[in-house]
Amino acid sequence: MTLRSFILRRLGSIIPTLIFVSLIVFALQKLIPGDPAIAMAGDESNDAVVEQLRAKYGFDQPIYVQYFRWIGNVLVGDFGSSYRNRVEVIDLILTKLPVTVELAVLSMIVALAIGIPTGILAATHKDRFTGTAANIFALTGISIPHFWLGIMLILLFSVQLGVLPSSGFVPPWENLKQNLLSLVMPSIVLGTGVAGVITRHTRGAMLQVLSSDYVRTARAKGVSERIVVSKHALRNALIPVITLSTIEFGQLLSGAILTEQIFSIPGFGKLIVDAVFYREYAVVQGVVLVTATLFILLNFVADILYFVVNPRMRGAND
Amino acid sequence: MTDAVLTQAPARSGFRIRSRAVRRFLKHRPAVVALCVLVFFALVAIFAPFIAPYDPIKSDFLAVRQGMSAAHWMGTDELGRDILSRLIYGTRTSLMAGVVPVTLALLISIPLGLLSGYVGGYLDSVLMRFTDALLAIPFLVLAIALTALLGPGLFNAMLAIGIAAIPIFLRLARGSALAVSKEDYIEAARAGGNSPLRIAFKHVLPNMIPPLFVQATLTVATAIIVEASLSFLGLGQRPPAPSWGSMLNEAQRFLPTQPTMALWPGLAIFIVVMSINIVGDGVRDAMDPRHKS
């Protein structure tokens, strides 16, 4: 199977998923109790105004017409507008998303820098103290409530030691140093959880590769253990870890919700929480739709990466 | 071959497999310790009214934000309420928020998964596309969006978490049903003239439970964290009722002056979630020894 046909086949399966996602997000709006036209008109409205709004936004049309109208607008980037900020939802998303993406990238760097070496240690020092410690670290990373870890880090580094800011995000183009300083703690908070997942997967993949025939052959030929681990085992063990990291990156975009709330970072997560509190359903819909689409696309990228780095896939699908 | 023979054979071997799994689980020392920790928290939740030294919602303005003392082992909060008592009652909220949504999700997913995997066809395709779409929306985002729709409150938060967990179990249940329905003993039951409904409920259903049980254990941990997150955001348990998440929210404001207020609820969530994850690993290893964590 060629890369092109693989991409086409995967695209064929993600389009129906995207259509279903849009149906769910549309249903979310329709399930809200009450008449949206009455809600829009406000307290001092009369029947004529409500009727006018109903006709203007198509609420009097059959449900499928309303869906096609809505999806048509979404496809050209019109998600509606936020009545609180009087800003288009798409503009809000485009302003907030880069902040969360920066946080997710930094968190992923932290996660990979901790997770891969710890996973290797857990596999190579299996049944020894170091290996057990690495396993406990992974379990802690997965189990710790990140918003609590964030609060504890603020307590230590901001309140007690006063070395890192607890809030006050600065965009990178204004002051890069301040920007990075303000994201140190949030990226550690988010990165630790993903590091736990990566540690577990690296350990699993390494254990599998280390017990394979070609590693046994390399050892029998007298190749040093360091070379066996770094050159023979790690390269192959990292293949599933790369794809997993791509999927985890998608999780980070949504995992940032509480972290952004704690560190007052004006990102995507804070946008959805504020939207929920102010009952701005158009914003909630926009954020859910964009998050799901990004998640599907990242999974798509992960599949392509896996196909590219794993030659066996090409044969398997022929 | 009679139907009685058919039903007894897998049932007896199923019992043997289960007792072997229990023995393997009991040999997994960390999992047994973690299970004891969970039993302790469950007892705390059940006997909360007898254990808690104070009323968890009663304010005492003469004892506002006090440190740890003989009268208040974990101190008091901004309204003078005893933190230990709130923590004890909060155990109820957290354990309930872990178990209720997962039970709800299982009750909906198992029959639907069985139908989808065993019957297949058009229904299976539609259900699986729907599941894929729901799985594309991250768990917490979906739970927040649903809570926005249903309104804040513990019941609604649990309902939202339960709905958000359905696709995870539905996909797994369908996969299990599909795998089990291809087994030889199902073929034999079919050849024995059993009705499809009887085969589905008597033979397929009992054998698709083990993988769901492992996933259920792990999802309880996720549900507890998500409920705490929703309560932390003010979308879960309503004040003044105690919840570990809302206690952390309140504590955040007094971090410089009373850091212990944030320490205890977070530590409680951490210990419970970690114990559930260790038990989950133990259950998985016991049920499938090839997949040893």
Which residue from A17, A139, A279 is facing B133, i.e. has the nearest CB? A17
Do B134 and B166 form a contact (C-beta atoms < 8 A)?
A: yes
Taking every pair of Cα atoms in chain B, the longest distance, rounded to a whole number of angstroms, is 78
Please give the residue of chain B at the shortest CA–CA distance from A255: B140
Q: Is the pLDDT of residue A144 over 80?
A: yes
Two tokens at A274? 């504020």
Do A144 and B248 make contact, defined as CB atoms within 8 angstroms? no
Nearest to A110 by CA among A197, A202, A188, A201: A188
H runs (alpha helix) in A125-223: 129-143, 146-153, 176-210, 213-220
What's chain B's length in residues?
293
Task: List the beta bridge partners of residue A81.
Answer: A88
Share of chain A above pLDDT 70, in %: 95
Please report which confidence band the pLDDT of residue B237 belongs to, taking 50, 70 and 90 as the band edges.
confident
Note the pLDDT of residue B234.
87
Higher pLDDT, B11 or A126: A126
Coil, helix or strand at residue A267: coil
Give this complex's ipTM.
Answer: 0.84
Main-chain dihedrals φ then ψ at residue B289, nearest 5 degrees = -60, -20
Rounded Cα–Cα distance for residues B72 and B58 (Å): 14
Higher pLDDT, B289 or B142: B142
pLDDT by residue (tens digit) across A207-223? Answer: 888 888 888 888 888 88
pLDDT by residue (tens digit) across B20-54? Answer: 888 888 988 999 999 999 999 999 999 999 999 99
CA B201 to chain centroid, in Å, comes to 24
Q: How far is A275 from chain B (nearest CA, A)?
A: 9
Please give the residue of chain B at the shortest CA–CA distance from A270: B233
Taking every pair of Cα atoms in chain A, the longest distance, rounded to a whole number of angstroms, is 88
- Residue appearing with tokens 């992923």: A108
A24 CB neighbours in chain B (<8 A) are: 130, 133-134, 137
Please report which confidence band the pLDDT of residue A92 belongs to, taking 50, 70 and 90 as the band edges.
very high
Please report which confidence band the pLDDT of residue A93 belongs to, taking 50, 70 and 90 as the band edges.
very high
Rounded Cα–Cα distance for residues B222 and B239 (Å): 23
Q: How far is B278 from chain A (nearest CA, A)?
A: 8
Two tokens at A189? 């908070």
Average the pLDDT over each of A115-124, B13-22, B94-103, B221-230 and give the range with the smallest value: B13-22
- Determine the straight-line distance between the first and last CA of chain B, rounded to whole angstroms: 41
Please report which confidence band the pLDDT of residue B13 belongs to, taking 50, 70 and 90 as the band edges.
low
Note the pLDDT of residue B8.
45
Q: Is the pLDDT of residue B265 over 60?
A: yes
**B253 close contact with A: CB closer than 8 A:** no
Rounded Cα–Cα distance for residues A59 and A49 (Å): 13
Note the pLDDT of residue B4.
44
Q: Is the pLDDT of residue A45 over 90?
A: no
Q: Is the pLDDT of residue B14 over 70?
A: no
A279 CB neighbours in chain B (<8 A) are: 148
Rounded Cα–Cα distance for residues A237 and A130 (Å): 20
Average the pLDDT over each of A29-33, B83-87, B132-136, B141-145 and give the range with the smallest value: A29-33
Do A179 and A97 form a contact (C-beta atoms < 8 A)?
A: no
Rounded Cα–Cα distance for residues B243 and A58 (Å): 43
